[in-house]
Structure 1
């Protein structure tokens, strides 16, 4: 397989091997803070809903919900800044190259500013069409446009925060990353309540609270990053280093591959929603309730994927194969242990969770009959989450992208075969097969990719 331009230099390109130990503690020191950070995110939606819900205006609440979904859909797909920065920083960290760590951050920072302003320029087009596609109620669409129009002003700061978080995680500083997430999310909650309720700004208050929190987070994060730069022994990278054409092209290619992978993943979930809707409102609602089970599993597995990103990238940068193999083993062990524990938890307490999320007897019954499928999504997806982290950290983005496309093709085939035969049970079986296939395809490519990257250092 030809070497792909991914921003990491070929193994053994003049750098010494830099041994380091990978332990359970080093895995958990990244995974646990990241997981806690992910678990705080739903509090933002609950706070915003509670603030606007107290206004007693259904259109305002619906408009807020649609605006938040639209924002999360767009910016969630563009979160590749975080993951690509993590992988490239981790490799530079593994090499002990402080100059390149700084250069990676500044490339991500400049890209974040550029993408932020592109989002601002695209906003009129988004607001002209997107709300109307998501709701036919003009009053709800107006609230969505107003909310999104304010919140999108945070775009440059939001992308800068992606770059900062990626840089910090690339250096394995999980606790610091959690602190920055708490600053952003905590400020968001406090300001949304103060502006939305205390000052009576309602939806505007929630939107401005989010904008202010992103700006505060970016300011605090930049202070943290600059302090780290001052302690580094190497000289600062020059403009020529930061704007090095080959490295910028590699960064853009890496980001493009991760973006395609994210869009394909969202496409699979969109297909599931569309097919589920053909079974009627009750089944669609039940599937939406059960997707919360998968969402919770993903929060825990994403934390371990973050550990895999950092340790795999650091191992590649350090040219130290034993650390890479150890990181593979430990992150896999913790991922499957976590997924197994979550499966048992949801099988035991999933019915209570369903009752909490819906009061409809029909939806409860339908969701309960499919609970087993949702409960095992963590197990079927554990390998995919873990290896996604490994591939991102190693910057094997092209292979990861291609395996995701192959998995989507397999998912579509499974839907075409299983749904006519087994209905909604077939749909849930297909999504589990999709998750499992992603992991198995990445696993199949792992030996050749690993050998290629470490060949010169062995």
Structure 2
């Protein structure tokens, strides 16, 4: 079974590794311009798209779980209809997002903190990158569906291609055409649409049979659509908790000054880099737990869990050691601005302990997604975000300042894993 876990996890890890690479390159490009304002502006604009894309991430997660269960139950018609329903929601949501892009920007920049110069550059970034939304959201559906079909290879090729094209285009637009933040945004647009074209090519190459099960009959679509929306609603609320925490984190960082915003943005890349390794095993959990859940095989599901948590704890320990030993050197990769590096060193110890306290939350997320146990995911996230991030922050911020943000982040990640551990026995009944 370890071989099966690695067959699903390793491609996802390889594809995920290109995602932090993209963030690192963006920060590197902005960090070597003539002002720290550009780093903060891209980070602030990135918060808005984190909100948007994480908001739609319920599609990837719910599609993954439902398609894996249909695969385990060997129900070809349901495998196909899961994809059709997901694409319908993706296209409708993308259209609404483009129609409402101006009011979305007005609300976002009114809520987010930051200097006028940071916000002005961030607006330029936003109005270019927003046009990538239809491709990015549709790719979530295809990636989730491919994974549910126990195919981790296609999502890997698509993700790696998207991010490598993005990196190359961003370097080209920034370094050779002098487009600054707009160049990074345009690189994202080109990368996402290239990925969508590749996803369609793969789909027609291997899954052409799906077309015969697509339907315009409302009764077939509505039956599964209602369940998808109900699960998606819970996962959306759960995702809103993550969005609220990370958006608040960046916004409050901006309120502490451009240097602190830049330093916290760099340190968050450390957390994201670790998360993409753990997400590889979380995606494996989605596919395998969903398959065993759909087939009603609890024995295999328990065996899978033991192995997954072995991998998760090992990676958590490894990253804690790496960040403890080489963390200060890694800061210098992102920027050559001394004041940003020195500010980052002050808060580096929080990053060192995060992998050990957070690995469980990633594995459990994959397990509960595969079982489509969305209510438990929703409730645990609400408790963790309200009582273990926001409450400690407001109590301690007057004395700890930026340290209160990082303490809240550590408690938030730990609480997510603890609560899902407590709720798992109910799932197995």
CA distance in 1, matches of 2:160, 2:191: 10
More off after superposition, 439-448 vs 284-293: 284-293
Residue 109, structure 1, aligned to residue 79, structure 2: no
Bigger-Rg structure (1/2): 1
TM-score of the superposed pair, with normalisation by structure 1? 0.81
**2:216 matched residue in structure 1:** 239
Aligned counterpart for 1:294 among listed residues 253, 267, 271: 271
CA distance in 1, matches of 2:25, 2:261: 26
Give the drift of 1:188. 2.3
Give the drift of 1:296. 2.1
Report matched runs for 1:243-322 at 5 Å: 243-270=220-247, 272=249, 287-322=264-299
Aligned counterpart for 1:447 among listed residues 420, 425, 428: 425
State the number of aligned residues.
Answer: 428
SS at match of 2:100: helix
With over 3 angstroms needed to count, the CA separation of the structure-2 counterparts of 1:419 and 1:148, relative to structure 1, is closer
* Cα deviations by residue, 1:308-359 (Å, 9 ceiling, x for unpaired): 1111111111111112111111111111111011111112222322454566
**1:166 matched residue in structure 2:** 144
**8 Å CA contact retained: 2:24, 2:269:** no
Cα RMSD, aligned residues only: 3.4
**1:216 matched residue in structure 2:** 194
* Cα deviations by residue, 1:427-453 (Å, 9 ceiling, x for unpaired): 5444333222211211111111111xx
Aligned counterpart for 1:91 among listed residues 69, 72, 81: 69
* Cα deviations by residue, 1:190-211 (Å, 9 ceiling, x for unpaired): 3444555556666555444432
CA distance in 1, matches of 2:168, 2:177: 12
SS at match of 1:173: coil
Give the drift of 1:104. 0.6
Give the drift of 1:402. 0.6
With over 3 angstroms needed to count, the CA separation of the structure-2 counterparts of 1:251 and 1:291, relative to structure 1, is same
Structure 2 unaligned spans of 5+: none
**8 Å CA contact retained: 2:47, 2:250:** no
Structure 1 unaligned spans of 5+: 1-22, 452-458
**8 Å CA contact retained: 2:263, 2:344:** yes
With over 3 angstroms needed to count, the CA separation of the structure-2 counterparts of 1:154 and 1:308, relative to structure 1, is same
Give the drift of 1:163. 0.7
CA distance in 1, matches of 2:287, 2:418: 22
Report matched runs for 1:346-365 at 5 Å: 346-357=323-334
CA distance in 1, matches of 2:409, 2:348: 14
With over 3 angstroms needed to count, the CA separation of the structure-2 counterparts of 1:215 and 1:359, relative to structure 1, is closer
**2:45 matched residue in structure 1:** 67
Higher helix share: 2
**1:10 matched residue in structure 2:** none
With over 3 angstroms needed to count, the CA separation of the structure-2 counterparts of 1:235 and 1:271, relative to structure 1, is closer
Residue 339, structure 1, aligned to residue 316, structure 2: yes
SS at match of 1:238: coil
CA distance in 1, matches of 2:78, 2:416: 32
With over 3 angstroms needed to count, the CA separation of the structure-2 counterparts of 1:175 and 1:335, relative to structure 1, is same
CA distance in 1, matches of 2:421, 2:152: 26
CA distance in 1, matches of 2:295, 2:49: 38
More off after superposition, 105-114 vs 268-277: 268-277
SS at match of 1:239: coil
Residue 388, structure 1, aligned to residue 369, structure 2: no
Give the drift of 1:235. 5.0
CA distance in 2, matches of 1:108, 1:382: 29
SS at match of 1:334: helix
CA distance in 2, matches of 1:26, 1:362: 47
**8 Å CA contact retained: 2:317, 2:355:** yes
TM-score of the superposed pair, with normalisation by structure 2? 0.86
**8 Å CA contact retained: 2:85, 2:221:** no
**1:33 matched residue in structure 2:** 11
Give the drift of 1:408. 2.3
